[in-house]
Structure 1
């Protein structure tokens, strides 16, 4: 790559995967500068000794995304330097992902799993990942042998993301079908797209609804089918629109609190307990979410590992999902 060639932008899901990989691989943790200078997705844009403020802001957003995904990111202060972000170290503890209490393996099964893990590890690390781990070793960072302790589920970009990005850059109106929670059929929306923002690991579109005459925020994963550009010139986004949309989503997140009881040692307990903003009272967890409909989907997927205590609408939503499963499968 020459000095005139811009660094390739790594997609968000790839950058998060490389970040998790690096944080799992180290037992002692990594400083922010080590992460930014070595991890794929940051290292291409990192300039030693220069102002990397935009890259540091990206890392702060990525930390929130990891916590939203239930990945237990630990922050370790250096002795005598509490709160000094330049000296703080970050890691993901493999011990925070225990096997469920009712799962056990024989010696032969453990041997086979160990062999399969070695094959997976060798086959799954990209060249960029191998170079980053080698560079970290060169910096004196202790790298653990088991880098397969977690296989994080990272959301890929929604199908609507790219066409909306193009429409925003061209200043064009778009039309799409949008399925709201509880509706049987999607509604067609004609909007001026203003900004795309990511919150709780999900992409949202701030747009002006040309038919309903007002601003709306749309969750991209509820856009059904194709996003179609229209001939009309879109309204222009005002400075700070994206920040305002994120602030409104954050306000929803602060007020939407679910109360659940999780089975100790279960996957649900690990994921929910480590979500950003969660706090516990013994086995009872208070979990925040911008969208209680999506939270109902997630909680229902945990089955009997969770008991949903409130709010009542969330309890009803989870029970309704379980009833649909029973009806479909007997």
Structure 2
């Protein structure tokens, strides 16, 4: 979390959302300095001519997160300054990140979208974004007339995030029901929470499982129901708990690969091709994942735009989801 000029806390999702808006709104791209000095979530901590190393590291992490979400963030050299990283420019190409051609909006629908943006109160994003665009115009940056027409997908905090954050800060154990892939019923878990980390756009809990024994990593979206704080004192977390959890997730992500064939120019093609680490061989893509079940959910949603080649377990998982949908609709 960061803070804006008024001291209000700015979440990673807000900051990344504002970053996407700024990068979509410019045709010529923005330098890192322009981004850090104008985009909400960075600008309040930017020191002109000073040490902004921590902000730059945060920007690099945000770039990786956006690419993992399939947002085609481009980096290119400024004319006449090839190889000068300080003058490199960034943008999100609207041509590479469009809505499907068959989706259009009437004037009434556009008005409703505008109202929806105005009433989104998770950090007053609309006001912050308008201020950011105003600052960009003041820099002489060519800003598009509208950013409606693209819909960046950013994952909000899971419901379990807040109580787990509270438990970590208070050093308390928690209990919750956890549904593992393939299980019909959730298991009750009692855990000493140690760290919350984000990987592949999803939040994970690193903790010591008091019931089963040993350290475990839990995907927050698989926590069923609420998280309950206990009076028991939690085990003291290791100083590098978060780093070790991320290292384990990255190792798993590197090892688990899926090969898919996509329809050129389709939504599946755009999203999967622009995921971090995707290996491209024409229309055949090799994507990485920490969780084949979640990848199966995503791939099934693309319908006939994607065909899973391997592994066989993923092929079967996607077919199961399609069969379930077909069965549910007669």
* TM-score of the superposed pair, with normalisation by structure 2: 0.90
After superposition, the Cα gap between the structure-2 partners of 1:97 and 1:147, relative to the gap in structure 1 and judged at 3 Å, is same
1:158–1:203: 8 Å Cα contact kept in structure 2? yes
Displacement of 1:116 in angstroms is 5.4
Secondary structure of 1:208's aligned partner: strand
Rounded Cα–Cα distance in structure 2 between residues aligned with 1:120 and 1:267:
22
Displacement of 1:279 in angstroms is 2.0
1:137–1:143: 8 Å Cα contact kept in structure 2? yes
Q: Residue deviations 1:270-296, cap 9 Å, x none?
A: 111111111211111111111111000
Displacement of 1:60 in angstroms is 1.2
Indicate the residue corresponding to 1:313 in structure 2.
313
Pairing 1:30–2:30 present: yes
Rounded Cα–Cα distance in structure 2 between residues aligned with 1:146 and 1:28:
16
After superposition, the Cα gap between the structure-2 partners of 1:93 and 1:170, relative to the gap in structure 1 and judged at 3 Å, is same
After superposition, the Cα gap between the structure-2 partners of 1:213 and 1:86, relative to the gap in structure 1 and judged at 3 Å, is same
2:99–2:149: 8 Å Cα contact kept in structure 1? no
Displacement of 1:154 in angstroms is 1.3
Indicate the residue corresponding to 2:238 in structure 1.
238
Secondary structure of 1:204's aligned partner: strand
Q: Residue deviations 1:83-135, cap 9 Å, x none?
A: 4432211100011035657x49xxxxx7x647855884697472221221111
Indicate the residue corresponding to 1:138 in structure 2.
138
Which residues of structure 1 form unaligned runs of 5+? 105-109
After superposition, the Cα gap between the structure-2 partners of 1:17 and 1:52, relative to the gap in structure 1 and judged at 3 Å, is same
After superposition, the Cα gap between the structure-2 partners of 1:123 and 1:319, relative to the gap in structure 1 and judged at 3 Å, is closer
After superposition, the Cα gap between the structure-2 partners of 1:216 and 1:27, relative to the gap in structure 1 and judged at 3 Å, is same
Displacement of 1:328 in angstroms is 1.0
Rounded Cα–Cα distance in structure 1 between residues aligned with 2:188 and 2:116:
44
After superposition, the Cα gap between the structure-2 partners of 1:38 and 1:167, relative to the gap in structure 1 and judged at 3 Å, is same
Indicate the residue corresponding to 1:202 in structure 2.
202
2:208–2:214: 8 Å Cα contact kept in structure 1? yes
Indicate the residue corresponding to 1:107 in structure 2.
none
Secondary structure of 1:225's aligned partner: strand
Rounded Cα–Cα distance in structure 2 between residues aligned with 1:259 and 1:116:
38
After superposition, the Cα gap between the structure-2 partners of 1:122 and 1:227, relative to the gap in structure 1 and judged at 3 Å, is closer
Rounded Cα–Cα distance in structure 1 between residues aligned with 2:67 and 2:10:
20
2:98–2:150: 8 Å Cα contact kept in structure 1? no
Indicate the residue corresponding to 2:74 in structure 1.
74
After superposition, the Cα gap between the structure-2 partners of 1:224 and 1:99, relative to the gap in structure 1 and judged at 3 Å, is closer
After superposition, the Cα gap between the structure-2 partners of 1:310 and 1:183, relative to the gap in structure 1 and judged at 3 Å, is same
Displacement of 1:53 in angstroms is 2.1
Secondary structure of 2:324's aligned partner: helix
1:7–1:45: 8 Å Cα contact kept in structure 2? no
After superposition, the Cα gap between the structure-2 partners of 1:189 and 1:74, relative to the gap in structure 1 and judged at 3 Å, is same
After superposition, the Cα gap between the structure-2 partners of 1:230 and 1:120, relative to the gap in structure 1 and judged at 3 Å, is closer
Indicate the residue corresponding to 1:224 in structure 2.
224
Which residues of structure 2 form unaligned runs of 5+? 119-125
Displacement of 1:46 in angstroms is 2.0
Q: Residue deviations 1:140-170, cap 9 Å, x none?
A: 2111224223111211100000100010011
After superposition, the Cα gap between the structure-2 partners of 1:326 and 1:8, relative to the gap in structure 1 and judged at 3 Å, is same
Rounded Cα–Cα distance in structure 2 between residues aligned with 1:116 and 1:32:
35
Rounded Cα–Cα distance in structure 2 between residues aligned with 1:43 and 1:122:
26
1:249–1:290: 8 Å Cα contact kept in structure 2? yes
Indicate the residue corresponding to 1:94 in structure 2.
94
